[in-house]
Structure 1
Amino acid sequence: MELTQLKYFLEVARTEHVTQSAKNLCIVQPALTQAIHKLEDELGVALFKTAGRNIKLTESGKFFYDKLQPLYESMMALPDQLRATADQQNNNVKLNVLAASTLITHAVIEYKQDNSEMNVDLVQNEETNVFDICVRTYSTYRPELDNTNSDETFIYSEKIYLAVPNTAQYKKTESISLFDLKDEKFIKLYGSKQYRKICNELCNRIGFHPNVTFESDNAAAIKEAVAAGIGVSFWPELSWGKMDHKKIKLLEITNTEFKRDLVISLRRNKQDNSKTEQFYNFLTKYIHQKSRKHG
């Protein structure tokens, strides 16, 4: 059975008039009659019977029409449904945020203000490779160790400072060696595996072992704890936001280059990646703008 044959059958069954159906289908009547006969031969049953000068559906024809009509309509609707699905996929971005979650969340919120139709599906899963865009961090990014199979990668090197109470002890200090803080209490971020690993790696690189006495899973809580004199903490300059607390001072660490690389990877997973690429470009531009303001 060919799709054209089914289309012809449905039209003749609807009108029960070959001549009128041929006009509606914009074909000659002999061609329509031949197509109906061929379909009947293939099915092995008569679909129509003569009734005077007209034709009527046989019982088999009625059964075939009742079963075929909804199937044919569903098939005809498929192209529009496929296009709608493609549009929906294009408007959906799966964003895996493994670093700088506060910064990236603010970027998503700002983007959606002007792009309300965009659905950003935020996930945080180090084990998954199912994403359109992924945000990660390394002490030093090396492409040869990248297993994300990304089509495009953006890298921003973010300086890490030491946040200390703005007290007389640090009033005239702009930079510091970590070894001057061997007896100081350190506050660390709990729950951010990648960032904490980087801080540990940087400390191990110079042989420094911080005395961690308090952990928090919230950057704002760490800020308040440092301001209260509970301890000191490593502070990434951009992703945690500009230090706006008068009771806190940021010191440059002199022992080694204390920084991390924020890496945003783009995958072109869809037939139409235009919206994903648009959001990716916004993210990279957003980080550049924030870094200029911060500087």
Structure 2
Amino acid sequence: MEIKQLKYFIEVAKREHLSEAALELDIAQSAISRQISHLERELNVTLFKREGRNIHLTDDGHKLLAEANKIVEQAEDTVRLFHNQSETNRYVIRIGYVESYTAQMLGLLIQTFEGQSDSKIEPMLMEETEITNTLLADQIDVAFMDLSTDLKQHRDLDTIPLFEETYNICVPKEDPIALATNPPLSQFKDKMIYQLYATSQSIKHTLEQQIQQRVRIITHKQLAKYLLTHNRGFIITPSYHIIDKPNNKWVEISLAHTELKRTICCATRKDNRKHDMALLKNTITTLLSRDATYH
């Protein structure tokens, strides 16, 4: 039994005339007769009594008509539900992002974009190990992430380099390295290094290779200040994070001259057809793109 057959049956039952039903449905009368015959054979009943050119529902026909109306109505409601849901989803843009400077700019990005568009943004913080696959699986629409070599090779994705993220290291003022100018990472070998806030695995791996020891992660500025004040270690931070220096107990050294850097990009699927995606990408470029050397 097919929905099409039930629709044909309902139209014939309503008009009690094959040719009028065929005209309304804009199909050949023979096609309607054939489908109703298939329906009768499948159900093993007679649905119409023929009297010359007129046809009338049998008792079984009346029973089927009541059920057919329910089935067709439910099918049409289901189609409408998914069409409406699909239309609603067109106006919801899901942004996944890894921890970076973009997190600080998301509020302004959302406010600026939604001030010009009917679409709404749903942001979510993600692990760098999952964000690419989530984007490829169409579970998010936009990804702010590291522009890796692997990412560049995905032909299904568009990537827009945004900015280069560099790092600083905070050093107790009494330590001799505080006087160094553009020190290489290897100069921090055998030093106790803490990373304030987790960053990408590639950054952590690069740092650990250079200093030849494990880097510890902390997540609170107060703890970072204590360690620096008591000369208990050095603190690595992204350059956009600032740790207040009470009484100049430590100095902040830029590591922008080292290999400790990453390029943050905006990645989208080429086949994404969400409403106002072009406007969103333009807004992202306007707010987040900075002149830099991209790797």
Normalised by the size of structure 2, how large is the TM-score?
0.64
Q: Does 1:133 find its partner at 2:142?
A: yes
Q: Following the alignment from structure 1 to structure 2, what is the Cα–Cα distance between the partners of residues 83 and 161? A: 51
Q: Following the alignment from structure 1 to structure 2, what is the Cα–Cα distance between the partners of residues 35 and 179? A: 82
Q: Following the alignment from structure 1 to structure 2, what is the Cα–Cα distance between the partners of residues 37 and 180? A: 89
Q: Is the 8 A contact 1:189 1:217 kept in 2?
A: yes
**1:216, CA displacement in angstroms?**
1.0
* Equivalent residue, structure 2, for 1:188: 195
Q: Is the 8 A contact 2:197 2:237 kept in 1?
A: no
Q: Following the alignment from structure 2 to structure 1, what is the Cα–Cα distance between the partners of residues 86 and 50? A: 47
Q: Following the alignment from structure 1 to structure 2, what is the Cα–Cα distance between the partners of residues 222 and 268? A: 44
Task: Describe the shift of the 1:258–1:36 C-alpha distance in structure 2 as closer, same or farther (beyond 3 A).
Answer: closer
CA RMSD of aligned residues (A): 4.6
Q: Following the alignment from structure 2 to structure 1, what is the Cα–Cα distance between the partners of residues 98 and 251? A: 27
* Equivalent residue, structure 1, for 2:102: 104
Q: Following the alignment from structure 1 to structure 2, what is the Cα–Cα distance between the partners of residues 63 and 283? A: 60
Correspondence 1:218-229 to 2 at 5 A: 218=220, 220-221=221-222, 224-225=225-226, 228=229
**1:198, CA displacement in angstroms?**
1.2
**1:10, CA displacement in angstroms?**
1.6
Task: Describe the shift of the 1:48–1:255 C-alpha distance in structure 2 as closer, same or farther (beyond 3 A).
Answer: closer
Task: Describe the shift of the 1:88–1:217 C-alpha distance in structure 2 as closer, same or farther (beyond 3 A).
Answer: farther
* Equivalent residue, structure 2, for 1:198: 203
Segments of 5+ residues of structure 2 without an aligned counterpart are 136-140
1:153 to 139, 149, 159: 159
SS of the residue corresponding to residue 233 of structure 1 reads strand
Task: Describe the shift of the 1:93–1:108 C-alpha distance in structure 2 as closer, same or farther (beyond 3 A).
Answer: same
Task: Describe the shift of the 1:22–1:227 C-alpha distance in structure 2 as closer, same or farther (beyond 3 A).
Answer: farther
* Equivalent residue, structure 2, for 1:217: 219
Q: Does 1:245 find its partner at 2:250?
A: no
Normalised by the size of structure 1, how large is the TM-score?
0.64
Q: Following the alignment from structure 2 to structure 1, what is the Cα–Cα distance between the partners of residues 11 and 188? A: 87
Correspondence 1:17-56 to 2 at 5 A: 18=17, 22=20, 26=24, 37-42=33-38, 43-44=40-41, 45-49=45-49, 56=56
Task: Describe the shift of the 1:70–1:107 C-alpha distance in structure 2 as closer, same or farther (beyond 3 A).
Answer: farther
SS of the residue corresponding to residue 130 of structure 1 reads helix
Q: Following the alignment from structure 1 to structure 2, what is the Cα–Cα distance between the partners of residues 149 and 217? A: 37
SS of the residue corresponding to residue 262 of structure 1 reads strand
Counterpart of 1:245, as a letter, is: D
Q: Following the alignment from structure 2 to structure 1, what is the Cα–Cα distance between the partners of residues 57 and 95? A: 56
Q: Following the alignment from structure 1 to structure 2, what is the Cα–Cα distance between the partners of residues 221 and 267? A: 41
Segments of 5+ residues of structure 1 without an aligned counterpart are none
Q: Is the 8 A contact 1:163 1:250 kept in 2?
A: yes
SS of the residue corresponding to residue 46 of structure 1 reads coil
Q: Is the 8 A contact 1:175 1:253 kept in 2?
A: no
Count of residue pairs brought into register by the alignment: 268
Q: Following the alignment from structure 1 to structure 2, what is the Cα–Cα distance between the partners of residues 211 and 142? A: 25
Q: Following the alignment from structure 1 to structure 2, what is the Cα–Cα distance between the partners of residues 255 and 10? A: 77
Greater CA drift, 185-194 or 260-269:
185-194
Q: Following the alignment from structure 2 to structure 1, what is the Cα–Cα distance between the partners of residues 146 and 33? A: 69
**1:176, CA displacement in angstroms?**
4.4
Q: Following the alignment from structure 2 to structure 1, what is the Cα–Cα distance between the partners of residues 4 and 191? A: 82
Q: Following the alignment from structure 2 to structure 1, what is the Cα–Cα distance between the partners of residues 209 and 24? A: 81
**1:188, CA displacement in angstroms?**
1.5
Task: Describe the shift of the 1:246–1:4 C-alpha distance in structure 2 as closer, same or farther (beyond 3 A).
Answer: same
SS of the residue corresponding to residue 260 of structure 1 reads strand
Task: Describe the shift of the 1:223–1:148 C-alpha distance in structure 2 as closer, same or farther (beyond 3 A).
Answer: farther
Provide Cα deviations, 1:15-61, integer angstroms capped at 9, x if missing partner: 6x549x949x7589xx77x666444433244323479x986531221
